[in-house]
Structure 1
Amino acid sequence: MKTNPGRFFEDYRVGDTIHHAVPRTVSGGERALYHTLYPARHALYSSDEFARACGLPASPLDDLAAFHVVFGKTVPDVSLNAVANLGYAEGRFLQPVYPGDTLRSVSEVIGLKQNSNGKTGVVWVRTTGLNQKGEAVMSYVRWVMVRKRDADAPAPDTVVPDLKPHLDAADLTIPAGLDFSDYDFALAGEPHRWGDYAVGETIDHVDGVTIEEAEHMMATRLWQNTAKVHFDLTFRPEGRLIYGGHVISLARTLSFNGLANAQMIAGLNAGAHANPCFAGDTVKAWSEVLDRAETANPSVGALRLRLVATKGGAPFDLRGADGKYQPDVLLDLDYWALVPR
């Protein structure tokens, strides 16, 4: 058999290392398409001159565009037969990705747990994105619910990894040369510095984007994500499931309105795709400031932010009295961003 049906739950073993095909050289084309698909306006990723004024050699590829490329490499080996991507943890952005860099991905299986129905199980992997020099540009953990090929196949021993509830500020990497000392707030679009945000503050990002069928499928193909639930209606007759990363990028770019100076994502603490998203849903977003931290760089502060995407739900309404996510909540993402002090 020469074709690849993808791995099923019983095909994984804790400790397996998977080298994913196919390396990809990124260019300005990825940036242009990213800014076409999402309302991305953060200045550091829009202007070489702005980036150079902040100490970088040029404008990097958007953090999440690089994440999607690395993530997409893993899909044929990790989530081709997934029911759903369940969450993220311990995500670290280790250095910027620039046009001309070639990215590849390597994953280690760090956890397995069969579900009680015997038809699916959860697989935890730690993925590292590497550039052409073999340098790590990012790493993260994600867990996925994957179908079994044979419901009668014996369950593997349960191993649930012990993951940090969130990264500490000391775990964050500040890119070499980054300097916000002469940061141009007028060009960035808002005057708000790190010290202008208070822990517990909530921000309604106001704007919304209605997801079109063609756009989400174009985005998923752009990242070479081959998960069947995003394309093949026979796997989800009620509609093609929107790639969770598409919702993350929409929410992050909508957050510009109120967080224009949260320029770089430095860490992903946790993330949950709370409810499925389909074409026709209108995505809106709000944020909560969870923490603030100084960094070793006197010009750069870190904000720990909760980013919530909804499909029209009221802002700041996250969970019901039963503790479960409200049905309109699509995404609950906890991340660190770098902000001028």
Structure 2
Amino acid sequence: MKTNPGRFFEDYRLGETIHHAVPRTISGGERALYHALYPARHAVYSSDEFAHGLGLSTAPVDDLMAFHIVFGKTVPDISLNAIANLGYAEGRWMQPVHVGDTLRSESTVIGLKENSNGKSGVVYVRTKGLNQRDEVVLEYVRWVMVRKNRPDAPAPGAAVPQLAPVVVPEAFVIPRRLHFTRYDFQLAGEPHRLGDYEIGEKIDHVDGVTIEEAEHMMATRLWQNTAKVHFDATFREDGRRLIYGGHVISLARALSFNGLANAQMIVALNAGTHANPCFAGDTVRAWSEVLDKSETSAPGVGALRLRLVAVKHGAPQFALKGADGKYLPEVLLDLDYWALVPV
């Protein structure tokens, strides 16, 4: 058999490392396409001159673009037969990615747990993205619910990893030579510094974007994400193609520019939940909550810990969960991350 049906839950083994095909060299064209797919405007990704003024050689590609490329490589081996991508933890961006870099991915299985229905199980992996010099550019843990091919297949012993609830500032990897000592607030688009944000503050990002079928399919193909739920309209009983969760992440992050224009670079991903499915035709809006803030070792550079929430049209403002503790049906994404800002 020469074709690959993808892995099912019973095919994973605790501790195994999977080297994913196929390496991807990043072009300026797909960087431009990323900015076309999302209203991405953060200055450090948009302007070589702005990035150079912060100590970088050129503008890196968007941190989430690098994430999508690394993530997409893993799909044929990790989530081709997924029911749902459940969450993220312990994510760190280790160094900027630039046009011309070649990325590849590898994942290690760090946890397995069969579901009580015996038809599926949860697979935990730690994924690393590496460049052409074998340097780790980012790493993260994710867990995904995967179908079983044979319900009677024996389940591996349950092993659920203990994951840190937050990446502490001491564990950040700040890009070499990065500084915000000559930060140009006018060109960045907003005047707000680290000290202007208060823990507990909530920011309505105002704008909304309606997702079109064509654009989410283009994005999923661009990241070479082959998960069946995103492509095959017959795969789900409702006959609808599920929007790739990363598409919602990038859309919400881009919308957050209005109020967080100076949250320039993502350095860590603490947690993330795709709370409810998203489909073409949904209008996505976003709001953020400031969870924490910290200074860093880089000159003039601070960090904001932010909760980024994406919601569908009609959602109550700043509402997240109901009285039962479950996410409201309008909530699409609950993402906890650290971003670098000027002090």
Match of 2:325 in 1: 323
Instruction: Give how far 1:63 is off.
Output: 0.2
Q: Which residue of 2 aligns with 1:15?
A: 15
Paired position in structure 1 for 2:74: 74
The code of the aligned residue for 2:306 comes to: L
> Which residue in the other structure is 1:340 paired with?
342
Inter-partner Cα distance in structure 2 for 1:212 and 1:293: 38
Aligned partner of residue 123 in structure 1, secondary structure: strand
Equivalent residue number for residue 40 of structure 1: 40
- State percent identity of aligned pairs: 76
The residue number in structure 2 matching 1:94 is 94
Q: What is the rounded CA distance, in whole Å, between the counterparts of 1:276 and 1:154 in structure 2?
A: 30
Equivalenced residues, count? 341
CA deviations over 1:101-159 (Å, ceiling 9, x no partner): 00000000000000011001000000000000000000000000000000011111000
TM-score, normalised relative to structure 2: 0.99
User: C-alpha distance in 2, partners of 1:115/1:150?
Assistant: 14
Partner Cα distance (1:304, 1:336) in 2? 4
* 1:257 matched residue in structure 2: 258
Give yes or no for contact 1:285–1:315 (8 Å, CA) kept in 2.
no
1:195-221 per-position Cα deviation (integer Å, ceiling 9, x unaligned) = 100000000000010000010000000
Unaligned runs of 5+ in 2: none
In 1: Cα distance, 2:277 partner to 2:201 partner: 27
1:69 counterpart SS class: helix
1:163-174 pair list within 5 angstroms: 163-174=163-174
**CA drift at 1:29:** 1.2
Task: Return 23-32 or 302-311, whichever deviates more.
Answer: 23-32
Deviation, structure 1 residue 295 = 0.7
TM-score, structure 1 as length reference: 0.99
One-letter code of the match for 2:282? D
Q: 2:108 maps to what in 1?
A: 108
CA separation in 2, counterparts of 1:135 and 1:272?
28
1:52 CA drift (Å): 0.2
Q: How does 1:167-186 map to 2 (within 5 A)?
A: 167-186=167-186
- Is 1:295 paired with 2:324? no
Deviation digits for residues 39-88 of structure 1 (CA, Å, limit 9, x no counterpart): 00000000000000010000000000000000000000000000000000
1:322 maps to amino acid? D
Q: CA deviation at 1:237?
A: 3.7
CA distance in 2 between partners of 1:28 and 1:195 (Å)? 35
Question: Is 1:2 the equivalent of 2:2?
Answer: yes
The aligned counterpart of 1:26 is: 26
Q: CA deviation at 1:161?
A: 0.3
Listed as ranges, the gaps of 5+ residues in structure 1 are: none
Letter in 1 for 2:186: A
The answer for the alignment partner of 2:197 in structure 1 is 197
- RMSD over aligned CA atoms reads 0.5
Runs ≥4 residues deviating over 3 A: none
Q: Distance in 1 between matches of 2:196 and 2:174?
A: 21
